[in-house]
Structure 1
């Protein structure tokens, strides 16, 4: 009888382990899909800067960005960045960093989506910061910093914090 109990226990443990592995794999897949959505949203948002549509960027951004900078000043910020860097020529997504509950921002989940970007006048690291909102990932900031110290100066930022509009305290300046 002990053998049957042992075999049953092994099947139960095996089934429990298989269930745990499926749950873990599902959670990893969901997290990966969530990151894919964040990167896709950031890419669409940053494409608006390439298309000289800062007003559309501002309207599509989180209330965090909208509260920190007016639509008019956002347009000036984007124009200033593009005047210094030139037109976008090539962009590659390179990394995503996760930040939970950063100081100076509402509690929650944040991501920095980083791109290596070649502009006409500079090689840069662009960072689009995203906040997890009720409808998904929302852009809260955009910072461009020089990738090669000898090139055109664009803007400085600390990539370990959310890249926020110039008026916010966490801008990393």
Structure 2
């Protein structure tokens, strides 16, 4: 559970480390990947969301720990009612993670049981060219 908290915290910490690094097309691809990943979580497909996360993330957080942690985080909030992307920030490094290409997206989200939340989704550019989750946080 400490690892899960660490990676969720990384998503917030990298907001301060952002700089313009990726091309516009990369941002669009990163945002699309984040949206697809969030859709899995919204549907309660937590195991699938873990499988679709980055290899770095999967190596640090077991599927069982992820399922329990995400279920405990999302269940009390209820279904998503509305989600609007707020910010998009690019970074080359995150605390505790290898240098690479990262995109941090924040969303203003309304859940059935929480009217005003901020979701932070951090994705990384993998060697295979795909963008995959490396961090998720709800405030």
Q: TM-score, normalised by structure 1?
A: 0.64
Bigger-Rg structure (1/2)? 1
Report the Cα offset of residue 108 of structure 1: 1.0
How many correspondences in the alignment? 116
Listed as ranges, the gaps of 5+ residues in structure 2 are 1-21
1:142 aligns with 2:136: yes
- 1:78 deviation in Å? 1.3
**What displacement does 1:103 show?**
2.6
Q: Give the match for residue 109 of structure 2.
A: 117
Structure 1 gap segments, 5+ residues each: 1-29, 146-173
Aligned partners of 1:121, 1:50: CA distance in 2, in Å?
14
Question: Partner of 2:71: helix, strand, or coil?
Answer: helix
Mapped partners of 2:87, 2:131: distance in 1: 16
Tell me, in whole angstroms, the C-alpha distance in 1 between the residues paired with 2:70 and 2:95.
Answer: 25
1:77 shift after superposition: 1.3
Q: Does 1:129 align with 2:122?
A: yes
The Cα shift of 1:117 comes to 0.4
> CA shift at 1:32, angstroms?
1.1
Q: 1:161: which partner in 2? A: none
Residue 49 (structure 1) aligned with residue 37 (structure 2): no
Q: Indicate the structure whose relative CO is greater, using CA pairs within 8 Å and at least 6 residues apart.
A: 2
- The CA RMSD over aligned residues, in Å, is 1.3
Counting only pairs closer than 5 Å after superposition, residues 1-173 of structure 1 correspond to structure 2 as: 31-122=23-114, 123-134=116-127, 135-145=129-139
Moved over 4 A (4+): none
How far apart are the structure 1 equivalents of 2:75 and 2:69?
10
SS of the residue aligned with 2:120?
strand
